[in-house]
Amino acid sequence: MKSQPLLSCFATTAGGLNELCREELLALGAESAKAQPRGVEFSASEEVLYRCCLWSRLANRIYLTLLECTLDNQEDLTTQVAQFDWQRHFKTGDRFAVSFSGKGMGIDHSHFGALKIKDGIVDYFRNQGLERPIVDTVYPDLRIHGHLNRNQLTLSLDLIGYSLHQRGYREGEQVTAPLKENVAAAILMRAGWPQIAAQGGCFYDPMCGSGTFLVEAAMMASDLAPGLAKAQQMQLRHLKGHNPTLWQTLIAEAEQREAEGLRKLPQIYGSDASHKSLMIAQEAIAAAGYADVIELKQMTVEQGSRWGDWPVGLIVTNPPYGERLGEVEEVKQIYLDLGNYLKQAFAGWQAAVLTCNPQLGLYLGLKAKRSHDFANGPLECKLLRFDVSEEAHRTPALKGGSDLAQQVQQFFPRLAEADGAQMVANRLRKNWKGLRKWAEKNRVSAYRVYDADMPEYALAIDYYQTEEAGVWLVVSEYAAPKSVDPVSARRRLHEVMAVLPAVFEVPTDRIVFKVRERQKGSSQYEKLESNQHYFTIVENDTLLRVNFTDYLDTGVFLDHRLVRAKVAELSKGKSLLNLFCYTATATAEAAIAGAKSSLSVDMSRTYLYWAQHNFWANKIDDRKHELLRADVIAWLEEQAQMQPKPSRQFEVIFMDPPSFSSSKKMDGILDIQRDHGRLIRQAMSLLLPGGTLVFSNNLRKFKLDALLEQQFLIENLTQATLPEDFKRNPKIHQVWLIRRNAD
């Protein structure tokens, strides 16, 4: 590589760092630097180019551009490469490797592109009558890179031979998804660490993981060239025309700057809840040479303390954001704790938090002064920057979950006094006043007291009077359409949660919050939590077991109260078949009303176990009242095909199927609008003469198959089975009595 006034170069970098990298290269002496999608194009003297290789904290690779040309066709790639004067860069006996990126001219495979370039180099030496160099992809003396953009070819020499983010201090075992070193360095630059370090400020990462921020912060503060540790491994040392004297001079200069920088290194601290992560961080810190200057401690941010007398400085951290440690709900508390920790222990500091879910930043309770986009591998992230001061404090977003009422009481103690909160409180009192009298008169212990009566407060609130623990409220939020402002919707939800304890005279730990969306498949039955707290309510003289926290539904569909009563009335002294029985509440009520026998079928082991407890609570004889675990659709099909008739028939059949089901436990997909005709006809084949099928569902736009009305006697009981507490929502369910014409 002969000395030239200016050399054409290109530095690649991670996504989103090209502008920062451009500024860095200009500061190192580069000229005409232009940010490009893949990195930075620039010009530099030999000395500046060496400095860039040694000092760039942000580049991945640095290339010396050899050839830029336009290709006429695919074969022209090899031809153009063969015409380049490769003797300027190859020494006798040199081994080389070729890499390739981009696409064009029908070349869309990197291996094929690299092969065409290799052929061109070999052709050059063959045409010159010279010994051809040897391809060596493991230990090459030269690494040549080709990039094709449509028909524009760029050939370059890789001056590094590895990615510069590999500083050399982090080898071996890693924690999950570590932050790349050059991305960490860019974050520290954006957060203002070089300026804070120069003023003697302290650095702290409270969730340090494998210690990348800590080491990069120490390297910056100690003025350590990031390429120094692996300087003797850089590819440029093998290039023809390499200037070893200049290179060694720059290395000596870097070593001197580091020695001076270490004498004024500020305090650097890291902590993490994971002992394993801290061990990995300790190894990286020792490998980087900072074991005596970076202090680590195992602790969580929830502990909310710091050790020692620290000067004001900078906090930078990369907390979990759902991808790495599980669902987003699980990390909201971490952000709440982190925000509290910052506000309690770090007043006057600067802070920067990297997250791939910016909504989590709301839970910090600090107003961000700036944000910057970053890419951590394939993940798009934001760096949120804060002044940790009282002026920046704001009430944090709440983490959600079933205990939302308790959170609202903790963080918004005066929200119940707001005008909107008082308005909704008045509506709730009015509703409850009328319903309470009705409930007491009709011995109803569980009922709906509010169902989106005020459209802007899109909630359903169910009241449960339990035998063991008094009153519980279950609040279900209907998912708002995208047109609704999420901030306003969240405030209205919090207003409701703020007034419920006073309106219903119930403690916040007995108010359970859930989000209700359109359910498909078995999602309405999926577990939310695992508290295993069951309680008892009384309905139609029957004890029913309910669970408020573990599932989306409680075990009793309140809108079906009169439907269950009708099934019980029809079943007195008769046999009952309950299909899609869920927790078999209808069967339990029928048994208490005097049904002589029953069979309840469902495919869920969980809900049949729950049904068994309903039977035990009422001392129901399970020899007469059986539970069967089966795919109802397949079981009906099998029974209907039996000849000359099914093995067992019933006097009353109750069928309340889900609107949709695609459970792994069943074959195919149930769509009740499409499939109800077949299911009803199959069920009718199991009905004894004079018997009745009670069919219901909750699909709002459901329409009964017109052909069924030609085959059977059908009576619509929808209006008659709407309880007082659901009359504001007449589409909550639809119910029919179906009998044979001949009956």
* CATH code for the domain in which residue 129 is found: 3.30.2130.30
CATH number of the domain encompassing residue 687? 3.40.50.150
Domain extent for 493: 404-517
Splitting the chain (743 residues) into consecutive groups of 10 residues, what average pLDDT does each group show?
Answer: 74 92 96 93 96 97 95 92 94 92 89 94 93 92 94 95 90 64 96 95 95 96 94 92 95 95 92 93 93 93 82 94 59 84 90 89 87 84 90 67 84 83 95 94 96 90 95 89 70 92 95 70 47 89 94 94 98 97 98 97 95 97 95 91 84 94 64 93 95 95 93 95 92 95 69
Q: Looking at the structure, do residues 40 and 136 belong to the same domain, yes or no? A: yes
Among the three residues 490, 517, 544, which one is the final residue of a domain in this structure?
517
Among the three residues 158, 173, 198, which one is the final residue of a domain in this structure?
158
CATH number of the domain encompassing residue 411? 3.30.750.80
pLDDT value at residue 172: 59
pLDDT value at residue 444: 96
pLDDT value at residue 322: 64
Q: Looking at the structure, do residues 363 and 420 belong to the same domain, yes or no? A: no
Q: Which of 631, 656, 664 is nearest to 521 (CA)?
A: 664
How many angstroms separate the CA atoms of 230 and 504, rounded?
Answer: 69
How many angstroms separate the CA atoms of 321 and 60, rounded?
Answer: 26
Examine residue 176 and state whether it is found in any structural domain, yes or no: no
Amino acid at 690: G
pLDDT value at residue 527: 52
Number of domains in the chain: 4
pLDDT value at residue 327: 59
Q: Looking at the structure, do residues 339 and 282 belong to the same domain, yes or no? A: yes
Examine residue 557 and state whether it is found in any structural domain, yes or no: yes
User: Distances in Å between the alpha carbon of 291 and those of 218, 270, 298, 313, 738?
Assistant: 11, 12, 16, 21, 80
pLDDT value at residue 367: 86
> What six digits make up the tokens of 642?
């039996």
pLDDT value at residue 644: 79
Examine residue 252 and state whether it is found in any structural domain, yes or no: no
Examine residue 171 and state whether it is found in any structural domain, yes or no: no
Q: Looking at the structure, do residues 354 and 494 belong to the same domain, yes or no? A: no
Cα 328 off chain centre by: 5
pLDDT value at residue 392: 72
Q: Looking at the structure, do residues 24 and 154 belong to the same domain, yes or no? A: yes
pLDDT value at residue 358: 83
How many angstroms separate the CA atoms of 561 and 723, rounded?
Answer: 7
Are the beta carbons of 654 and 576 closer than 8 angstroms? yes
User: Which residues on neighbouring strands pair with residue 353, listed in sequence order?
Assistant: 317, 384
Examine residue 120 and state whether it is found in any structural domain, yes or no: yes
Examine residue 559 and state whether it is found in any structural domain, yes or no: yes
Examine residue 545 and state whether it is found in any structural domain, yes or no: yes
Are the beta carbons of 205 and 237 closer than 8 angstroms? no
Q: Looking at the structure, do residues 560 and 481 belong to the same domain, yes or no? A: no
Among the three residues 392, 421, 442, which one is the final residue of a domain in this structure?
392
Q: Looking at the structure, do residues 89 and 38 belong to the same domain, yes or no? A: yes
User: Which residues on neighbouring strands pair with residue 154, listed in sequence order?
Assistant: 68, 147
Q: Looking at the structure, do residues 282 and 352 belong to the same domain, yes or no? A: yes
Examine residue 608 and state whether it is found in any structural domain, yes or no: yes
Q: Looking at the structure, do residues 548 and 427 belong to the same domain, yes or no? A: no
How many angstroms separate the CA atoms of 531 and 549, rounded?
Answer: 7
Backbone angles phi, psi at 545, to 5 degrees: -85, 135
Q: Looking at the structure, do residues 352 and 437 belong to the same domain, yes or no? A: no
Q: Looking at the structure, do residues 638 and 557 belong to the same domain, yes or no? A: yes
Q: Looking at the structure, do residues 454 and 574 belong to the same domain, yes or no? A: no
